[in-house]
Amino acid sequence: MSDATTIAEQADADYPLVHLLKGVGRDSAPYAVLGIVGHTLANSIGQMNALLVGLAFDSVFGSQQFALPGLPQSVVPAGTADLLWFVFGLLVAVKAVDVISALVGQWSLGVAAQRIQHDIRVAGFDAAQRLELGFFDSEATGDIMSVLNNDVNTLESFFESDLEQTVFSIVNLVSVIGFMAYLNWQLTLLLLGFVPIVIVANGWMAKLFEAAHSRQRQTEGMLNARLETSLSGIGVIKAFTGEAHESGRTAAASREHRDAGYGVMRIAARRWPINSLIAGGWMVTSFVLGGYWVLNGPPLFFTAPLSGGALLTFLLYTRTLNGPLGVVTGVVGNYKGADAAAERVVGLQQSDWQIDDDADDAADLDAVEGRVEYDDVSFAYPGTDEPVIDGVSVTVAPGETVGFVGQTGAGKSTLVKLLMRFYRPDSGTISVDGHDITTVTRESLRSRIGYVDQDPFLFDGTVRENIAYGGEGPSEEAIRQAAREARAHEFITDLPEGYDTEVGERGVKFSGGQRQRIAIARAIVDDPPILVFDEATSHVDNETEVLIQRALDRLTEDRTTVVIAHQLSSVRDADQIVVLDDGRVVEQGDHETLLDRAGTYADLWNVQVGEI
């Protein structure tokens, strides 16, 4: 996948919103159906008000009987005053049913909307977690956050508000047209000539909205990515007085998002004038045709009569159509916005990055002794042709310590990422105890490996929670023992809250050495048979390095250990040292053997000793 490919462009669905609902909407369908039924009943019953007023008008001021479909004539009072009170009672009853049904409908659709947005957000996050690490190397974190937050919120708003308004408007239109047809189907047919105008206008604006909303979502993701990057690097920005530069870059991204918002607003501004023009034309036509019909009888070849009360009802209904027409026009645009948001969520779920899933016949990796083998492994990062690992073959016996050394960019950390199955090799195999790691479950593989990164990440929470993260519900004693072995227990107990101390976001309350030792405790709390240290002492002072190295010396005694080293002193006592250059193994042996060869390792050693 090209780095320029946006998340939305990775979606392979003609109707992203429909596609999304097929996956997450089933459990919420009963609530949605109940909501639609409630709104249908509320709106169809509610439209009887105008009909009742029209019938009462003809009965009081004309000579017609009060004849409501389905109502026995025997219950209709004969006197005018009694009839008016009777109609008043009917209006109250209709409104009561209307309100109760609307409450049920609104509550049910609201529940459906909340459930759907929750399911979409969780499904999107789960999909992101299943993607290989390369996806996160190619996509800005802020853009991914925008999908899981802003785009899902857009969908929530659509389901909670726009979906309800859509149901309300459609039922309104159908029930109003139905009642109008009951009064005079011929005049209704004439007035329906405005429907094609509505369809054409909505279709035109829908196309405009689709492009505008898609651009708005894209610029929103770019802006979030810019903000996330700037805030994450605020220390560097201040150190190099880059505030003005970053403000300019953020302002440029914000202007693009603002201009995209202007584009949506310009289209939205046309909705109400168009709606008002259509509704006004509908109203005037109803009044002119209806008035002529009442005064002169049916025109041309029409035969259906029209009373004054029926015309009054017609005009009330025509005025009522103004709201639904405006909503339909607006919802069309909002649907395009929701569809654009859904496209980005679907794009996240359908990313063409390899899904980091287990094979169907994958087995658990049990009772690991710790034998690790790289057999002719080659690998190039996606989107590049240059291999960073080229034909590497290394065997690490159980309980042995191997150190990978070499210049920056030699491929040391990549070998660790391949072992952790963050990526999959392009050729060759990596095995643990003779099992190809692609044939075992990801969870069982990673649970057998304790991993410490060169830049340890601590979660926002307590020290205890961060250490416990490395195991499956470890006991308090296991947590404290891991901290002791990592030389972290002493400084943790000196903290005001001890193990309950909050570490802050990314562990900002601790020094680099303290974060590193907490990370080591996390890696060993579950007593894994294999340990991986990716330059675990690269960012600490000499005193802290000594403390960490002493801890590592004890921890590696009975475990298979892979050490990525920048400081060669940290692998001096390793059973074997593998020297990498441009992704290839150029030397291999223990410290003394490699020094005697006077090759690449000896040169690196002499440089570091000389610096000391």
> Which two tokens mark 158?
């659509």
pTM equals 0.66
449: left (phi > 0), else alpha (psi -120 to 50), else beta? beta
Amino acid, res. 390: D
CB-count burial class (<10 Å; 0-12, 13-18, 19+) for 135: buried
Domain ranges for the chain, please list them. Answer: 8-349, 370-448+531-540+559-612, 456-528
Arch. (CATH architecture) of 456-528: 3-Layer(aba) Sandwich (3.40)
Which distant-in-sequence residues (6+ apart) come within 8 Å of 2 by Cβ?
383
Q: Which superfamily does 370-448+531-540+559-612 belong to? A: P-loop containing nucleotide triphosphate hydrolases (3.40.50.300)
**pLDDT tens, residue by residue, 449-488:** 998 888 788 888 889 999 998 888 889 999 999 999 888 8
> Which two tokens mark 157?
């708003």
Q: What is the pLDDT of residue 1?
A: 42
Q: Name beta bridge partners: 373.
A: 395, 431
Q: Of 366, 527, 378, 532, which is closest to residue 434 (Cα–Cα)?
A: 366
- Fold type of domain 8-349: ABC transporter transmembrane region fold (1.20.1560)
Confidence category of residue 3, pLDDT binned at 50, 70, 90: very low
Question: Checking DSSP bridges between strand 576-581 and strand 560-564, what pairing results, if any?
Answer: unpaired
Flag whether pLDDT at 427 surpasses 90: yes
**pLDDT tens, residue by residue, 195-250:** 777 777 777 777 787 778 778 878 887 888 788 778 777 766 776 677 888 888 88
As a whole number of angstroms, the distance between CA 111 and CA 114 comes to 5
583: left (phi > 0), else alpha (psi -120 to 50), else beta? left
Q: Name beta bridge partners: 531.
A: 450, 561
**Helices of type H across 403-462:** 412-419, 442-447
Q: Of 187, 190, 331, which is closest to residue 271 (Cα–Cα)?
A: 331
C-alpha 527: how far from chain center: 35
Flag whether pLDDT at 24 surpasses 80: no
**pLDDT tens, residue by residue, 62-72:** 777 777 777 78
| Run of H or E residues at 16 | helix 16-24
Flag whether pLDDT at 298 surpasses 60: yes
Flag whether pLDDT at 612 surpasses 50: no
As a whole number of angstroms, the distance between CA 41 and CA 20 comes to 28
> Which two tokens mark 489?
């227990």
Q: Of 455, 424, 427, 467, which is closest to residue 442 (Cα–Cα)?
A: 424
Q: Name beta bridge partners: 588.
A: 578
What's the Cα-to-Cα distance from 56 to each of 46, 176, 316, 543, rounded to whole Å?
Answer: 17, 18, 14, 95
Report the range of poorest mean pLDDT among 70-74, 121-125, 175-179, 506-510.
506-510
Flag whether pLDDT at 124 surpasses 50: yes
Q: Of 435, 403, 438, which is closest to residue 418 (Cα–Cα)?
A: 438
As a whole number of angstroms, the distance between CA 328 and CA 199 comes to 10
As a whole number of angstroms, the distance between CA 17 and CA 340 comes to 8
Question: What percentage of the chain carries pLDDT values higher than 90?
Answer: 19
User: At which residue do the structure tokens 């903290």 appear?
Assistant: 495
> Which two tokens mark 264?
């949506």
As a whole number of angstroms, the distance between CA 97 and CA 109 comes to 18
Amino acid, res. 133: L
Entry field: residues in the chain: 612
Confidence category of residue 602, pLDDT binned at 50, 70, 90: very high
The two domains 8-349 and 370-448+531-540+559-612 share their CATH topology (first three levels equal): no
421: left (phi > 0), else alpha (psi -120 to 50), else beta? left
Which distant-in-sequence residues (6+ apart) come within 8 Å of 57 by Cβ?
308, 309, 312
Flag whether pLDDT at 2 surpasses 50: no
Q: Of 403, 407, 433, which is closest to residue 416 (Cα–Cα)?
A: 403
User: CA angle, corner 534, sides to 533 and 540, nearest 5?
Assistant: 95
